[in-house]
Structure 1
Amino acid sequence: MRTQVAIIGAGPSGLLLGQLLHSYGIDAVILERKDPDYVLSRIRAGVLEQGMVGLLEEAGVAARLHQEALVHDGFEIAFSGKRNRIDLKGATGGKVVTVYGQTEVTRDLMEARKTAGLTTIYDAADVTLHDFDGEAPKVRWTKDGVSHEITCDFIAGCDGFHGVSRQSAPASSLQTFERVYPFGWLGVLSDTPPVSHELIYVNHTRGFALCSMRSAHRSRYYVQCPLSDDVAEWSDARFWDELKSRLDPETAHKLVTGPAIEKSIAPLRSFVAEPMRFGRLFLAGDAAHIVPPTGAKGLNLAASDIYYLSRAMREFYGEKSSAGIDAYSANALRRVWKAERFSWWMTSMLHRFPDSDAFSQRIQTAELDYLISSQAALTSLAENYVGLPY
Structure 2
Amino acid sequence: MSKLPNVTTSIFTVMSKMAAEYNAINLSQGFPNFPVDERLTDILARLTKENVHQYTPMAGYPPLMQEIAKLIQSSYNRTINPDSELLVTAGATQGIFTSILALVKSGDEVLILDPSYDSYESPVLLCNAKPVRVALNDNYTPNWETIEKACSPKTKMIIINNPHNPTGKILTAADFTEFERILSKYPEILVLSDEVYEYITFEEKHISAHSKDFLLDRCIMVSSFGKSFHITGWKIGYTIAPEYLMKEIKKVHQFLVFSVNSISQAAISQYLEVVDVNLLGKFYQEKRDYFQKLLQNSRFELKPCEGTYFQVASYANISNEDDVTFCKNLITDHGVAAIPISTFYSDHKDQKLIRFCFAKDDFTLESAAKKLGNI
TM-score scaled to structure 2, two decimals? 0.29
The higher relative CO (CA closer than 8 Å, separation ≥ 6) is in 2
Looking at CA atoms only, which structure, 1 or 2, has the larger radius of gyration?
A: 1
Higher strand proportion (structure 1 or 2): 1
TM-score scaled to structure 1, two decimals? 0.28
